[in-house]
Chain A
Amino acid sequence: KQEVTQIPAALSVPEGENLVLNCSFTDSAIYNLQWFRQDPGKGLTSLLLIQSSQREQTSGRLNASLDKSSGRSTLYIAASQPGDSATYLCAVEGYNTDKLIFGTGTRLQVFP
């Protein structure tokens, strides 16, 4: 059974710091991995999608890497801003299954 874990559960940093959020999964047979952002009480905004054949994806100040063999992904946020404050969720989709399995998220607060 696939399990997804995110560390740390919460993070509070001053503006301008570079951040690394971690996601680990127990079954390496994944089809893709997706990172999402969620503001309080709101839906999910897709940030980056990494297919199983890819090693990383970049969008602006965000970079996500994937190491299937070790069951790990990291989301790197460069030069953090207060507007980055949100909960970040990672989710994996396995082969022969159409559902996303989520971690419990990392709650990020960036203060001025």
Chain B
Amino acid sequence: DAGVTQSPTHLIKTRGQQVTLRCSPKSGHDTVSWYQQALGQGPQFIFQYYEEEERQRGNFPDRFSGHQFPNYSSELNVNALLLGDSALYLCASSYNTENEAFFGQGTRLTVV
């Protein structure tokens, strides 16, 4: 079992650009959540996808959007990147929405 996999591991983008991050959930999991973790802080919830729909959203602007595919994998898109978007982006998967969450290794995004 490969666990939760995220790609890419590192990414450098310029202000104003757009970025897409990808996540494959753990085998048997159908729910994917995305978190943003700034340096020295705990992860902050961005949104969650279940059955290809956004179930819940945290306090993030509309520049952050996502998608879940029929195979349960997910993408996080961020438009009009700001310097403050630099962070570790974590994907978590679970079976259904209220079970133990397993996290991937994250994507380190640096906006310059």
Contacts and interface: CB of A to CB of B under 8 A. Distances in A.
B108 A41 contact: yes
Interface stretch (B14-22, B67-75, B76-84, B98-106): B98-106
Interface residues of B, number: 29
A104 B43 contact: no
Interface string A25-40: 0000001101010000
Q: What does DSSP make chain A's interface, helix, strand, loop or mixed?
A: strand
Interface string B89-112: 010100001101111111010000
Contact of B43 (A32, A41, A45, A102): A102
Contacts of A4: 42
Interface of A: 4, 31-32, 34, 36, 41-46, 49, 89, 91, 93, 97-105
